[in-house]
Amino acid sequence: MRTLLRTPILALSVMLAFTACSTAQQPASTATPFGTLSAVTTDLGDGLYTVSAGGYRTVFLVGDNGVLVGDPISTPIAKQFLSEIRKVTSKPLLYVVYSHNHWDHVLGGQVFKDEGAEIWSHEACLPHFYRNSHPDLVLPDRSYEQKQVLDVGNAKAELLYHGPNHSDCSTHLYFPAQKIVHIVDTVQPYAVSGAGGRMNDSYPKQFVASLQKLEDEVPFERMVPGHGGPIAPRDAVTNRREYQQGLLDAVKAEIDKGTPFGEIPGAVSLPQFKDLLGYDQYLAANAQRILIYYTIGW
């Protein structure tokens, strides 16, 4: 039986990579490399907002009947998010939507649950939550399989599942009125995968198919990420998909060429993506993950 760590985690894993390089995305007053420590809310129009704190970002949608909110992140950050929501509306919290299963995004849901919210996730998150429980993790009340529309009163969010990518239970949270999709960790705009890219529980090949499906089926124009700046153009998704496919192709080419196994990660080069955040630092680590995929089928 494992003993759980209670240490508060500020900003982890995926974005840990970008401590040196993502400040360019942020306003000059930014307190951390990935965002502000204190909460900052951005109005995206028609009742949709994005709020960032402690290096993490979520969204909330205000309708006639109440509010839908994304990841709580952690108990202290959820409290900050709640006070930001309360600056905009006093309506009840109706829904929380977990983006995926990783603790660094989904802890602290009790803060929203206490306001009456019902918690949703994709159904494939449930086995992860059962196996790796955490005292600050509130299990979802409801789950869905392919698509779920949640209506907060003249404002809708679509919970869309496009298959495994960064995890096997990622929800793409789409707001049709705004044509904005909230994508957490699968796409960090114009960045490679961070430290987690080496061995994250990602699905290297389905990753491409998942983003392709999103691009094919959803007429989004912009995206809100789970870290960093508030909004990025649709092209950020295409760019990330093409980087992933480039990695797959480059590693496969080295294998076919007979490059010694241990030398493959260092041999991969994708000059067309050299301007992505973290390219120099993490390209080899990203290639390592792809190499494992080609070797054991995982």
- Looking at the Cβ atoms of 143 and 210, the one nearer to other proteins is 210
Pairing of strands 67-69, 142-144: unpaired
Smaller CB separation from other proteins, 84 or 136? 136
**Rounded least distance, CB 4 to other proteins, Å:** 8
Taking CB under 8 A as the criterion, the residue among 7, 90, 135, 216 binding other proteins is 7
Burial class (CB in 10 A: 0-12, 13-18, 19+), 294: middle
Q: Which long-range contacts (CB under 8 A, 24 or more apart) does 145-148 make?
A: 148/120
Report the C-alpha gap between 79 and 13 in whole angstroms: 23
Based on the shown chain and the rule CB under 8 A, indicate whether residue 132 belongs to the binding site for other proteins. Answer: yes
Of 124-132, 144-152, 222-230, 266-274: span binding other proteins (CB under 8 A):
124-132
Residue closer to other proteins (CB basis): 142 or 205: 205
Please identify, using beta-carbon distances, which residue of 117 and 137 lies nearer to other proteins. Answer: 137
DSSP annotation of 293? H
**Contact string 153-192 vs other proteins (x = CB under 8 A):** -----------x--x-------------------------
State which of residues 28, 131, 135, 275 lies at the interface with other proteins (CB under 8 A).
131
* 109, two tokens: 């849901």
Q: Cα–Cα distance between 240 and 26 in angstroms, integer?
A: 20
Amino acid at 209: A
Closest CA to 186 of 201, 163, 170: 170
Tell the smallest beta-carbon distance from residue 41 to other proteins (Å). 26
Q: Judged by CB under 8 A, which of 28, 29, 90, 256 binds other proteins?
A: 256
213 touches other proteins (CB under 8 A):
no
Tokens found for residue 16: 């840990």
> Reduced to 3 states, what is the DSSP secondary structure of residue 43?
strand
Contact in structure between 191 and 237 (CB atoms under 8 Å): no
Does residue 196 belong to the site contacting other proteins (CB under 8 A)?
yes
Does residue 102 interact with other proteins by CB under 8 A? yes
Query: Which C-beta is closer to other proteins: that of 131 or that of 271?
Result: 131
Task: Find the shortest distance in angstroms from Cβ 177 to other proteins.
Answer: 33
Task: Write phi, then psi, for 69 (nearest 5 degrees).
Answer: -130, 150
Q: Contact between 21 and other proteins (CB under 8 A)?
A: no
Q: What is the DSSP letter of 154?
A: S
Task: Rule CB under 8 A: choose which of 261, 266, 269, 274 binds other proteins.
Answer: 261
Which residues are within 8 A (CB) of 131 and not within 5 positions of it... i.e. 6 or more apart? none
Site membership for other proteins, residue 200 (CB under 8 A): yes
* Structural element, H or E, at residue 222: strand 222-224
CB nearer other proteins, residue 121 or residue 178: 121
CA distances to 34, 77, 137, 284, 291 from 280, rounded to whole Å, are: 19, 32, 35, 8, 18
Task: List beta partners, residue 53.
Answer: 56
269 binds other proteins (CB under 8 A): no
CB of 20 to other proteins, least distance (A): 11
Question: Using CB under 8 A as the criterion, which residues of the chain lie in contact with other proteins when the complex forms?
Answer: 1-3, 5, 7, 9, 12-13, 16, 101-104, 128, 131-132, 134, 137, 164, 167, 195-196, 198-203, 205-206, 255-256, 258, 260-262, 289, 292, 294-298
